[in-house]
Structure 1
Amino acid sequence: MHSIALLRILSFSALALTLATTTAHADEQPHEDRGPQWGLGLGVSSETSPYRGVDTETKALPMLSFENRYVRVMGPSLDLKLPSAGPVSLALRARYSDPGYKASDADELQGMDERKGGLWLGARADWRLPWAQLTAEWLGDANGRSDGQQLKLEASRRFKIGTVGLKPHLALVWQDRDYVDYYYGVRAAESRAGRAAYAGSSAVNTELGLQLNLPLAPGHSVFVDLSHTFLGSAIKDSPLVDRSGVSSVRAAYVYRF
């Protein structure tokens, strides 16, 4: 299997199993008291790309996860759990992410050098409050390809209507100048008619989403995730981008044991 295709499979696995885990087990005892947990599933996703000429991609993907009291493995993410600070759960995080492109992905990208993904390292904190869960995640480029950094602040709230779980969420994602310039900038040697040179600056994206979870039987569940990201102005202004936002729809069946 092509390495990029494999990484996309792992990326969707991480999201799908994270959603299923946090929703399906919201009312159970803490994970440390349940012992090791495995997850298997199958999902389908459809996502738009911010880049000009790159079509919406729809794919079906398998999923796998593992978690115990020390580590959490979700697709391309590996968390090393740290001692909690009161109501705040802490972890060190390593994640592979590939938001880049190849010139062959679209005619509009011809003449652009490839923008590669890589390993990101950082930390995550989750603060569970009576009225919401707050999450903060910081990641930095460990490969030095972009030398970029990202900071994500998210608020979410879980509800139930009968057996159906609902979780709306709102997040702000700050990406620094190096990140935006690498993935959305145009170097002087890459410019041409209709594609001027462009130096990116830091941007803040706004994410809105809704997760739905339907338990089928003990350990079995189906989830749907709908999300839309409003792109920051420094990204929208790039000559490589022709959208003000990107959307995604994901659905999956998950069995946890």
Structure 2
Amino acid sequence: MKHTLWALLAIGAAAQAQTAFSDHFVGEAGGMLVGAQPVVQGASGSVSALPYVFGNWGRFYARVDTLGVKTLPLAEGHLELAARVSTEGFKARKTDFASAGDRSAPVPVGLGTFQRTPVGGVFAYVFHDTTSGGQLLELTWAGRVALGGATLYPQLGLERRSAAYVQHLYGVSAAQASVGLPAYQAGASTVPVVSLHATVPLQGPWALQLQGRYRAWDSAVRNSPLVDRASQVTGYAALTYSWK
């Protein structure tokens, strides 16, 4: 889920003042179904049931797939300690390349910030992946648009994966190579991301959260012999309850 997942807006009521921290949970929580197109040849699309949390409790925050702690004030936000819940790994036996070996999901940890601006919110993260030893950098702008009773959150972003990060997921070592699967040394990848999140009020504090995300893979990922897709669409649907 990459990320990610992620990047709803704390623009508006869900965003706390820079120096104010509540003594209770403020935000939305519930359950969601997460879907993703496969990236590796022979793999099937996935649908998973996961908890959904977007909100703050004191200095602690959750943004769907990103968890962390707000530390020092920084401009119009805070410097944050952050961790990402990633689902980018795969089981080789569920693809066309059993010899490729399983690829465990990355475990990105690092620093981040959310900044409120007059033209929307900006999310920035610098992660180190403890699985591959690589890095993941993200920069995302998110807006807020009222449409009838719903609220839309369009998002534009860039994801930068280091060569080690991409190699762990989509590279092929000499030992993993086989007939029909040549060795491949991956380079660093920079990927544009377009997302749209919608919050649809239901009754009282209940709401439906919907998100779709599109990534256009660059040559570092597309050229891997494991990969048969130039882009990927992911998304989720969540039923949530709001606490204020």
Normalization by structure 1: what TM-score? 0.83
- Distance in 2, Cα, partners of 1:98 & 1:58: 11
Q: Deviation of residue 58 (structure 1)?
A: 2.4
SS at match of 1:234: helix
Contact persistence 1:37–1:256 (CA under 8 A): no
1:89 aligns with 2:75: no
- Summarize deviations over 1:10-67 as a string: whole Å, max 9, x none: x89x747x64xx37x7246726465311643122232102111111112344445663
Question: Which consecutive aligned stretches of 4+ in structure 1 deviate over 6 angstroms post-superposition?
Answer: none
1:37 aligned to which of 22, 25, 30: 25
1:112 aligns with 2:125: no
1:248 aligns with 2:234: yes
Unmatched 5+ residue regions in structure 1? 1-7
SS at match of 1:26: coil
Comparing 68-77 with 221-230, greater Cα deviation is found at: 68-77
Contact persistence 1:80–1:91 (CA under 8 A): yes
RMSD: 2.5
1:125 aligns with 2:128: no
**Structure 1 residues 169-208: aligned runs within 5 Å:** 169-208=155-194
- Distance in 1, Cα, partners of 2:204 & 2:22: 14
Specify the alignment match of 1:56 in structure 2. Answer: 45
- Distance in 2, Cα, partners of 1:29 & 1:126: 10
Specify the alignment match of 1:150 in structure 2. Answer: 136
Cα–Cα, structure 1 residues 78 and 249, in superposed 2: closer, same or farther, change >3 Å? Answer: closer
Cα–Cα, structure 1 residues 37 and 219, in superposed 2: closer, same or farther, change >3 Å? Answer: farther
- Distance in 2, Cα, partners of 1:71 & 1:192: 47
Q: Deviation of residue 123 (structure 1)?
A: 0.7
Matched-pair identity in %:
24
Specify the alignment match of 1:235 in structure 2. Answer: 221
- Distance in 1, Cα, partners of 2:79 & 2:205: 26
Q: Deviation of residue 155 (structure 1)?
A: 1.0
Q: Deviation of residue 83 (structure 1)?
A: 2.4
Letter in 2 for 1:136: A
2:152 aligned to which of 147, 158, 166: 166
Unmatched 5+ residue regions in structure 2? none
Q: Deviation of residue 98 (structure 1)?
A: 3.9
Normalization by structure 2: what TM-score? 0.87
- Summarize deviations over 1:54-82 as a string: whole Å, max 9, x none: 11112344445663221124566431111
Equivalent residues, number:
240
SS at match of 2:175: helix
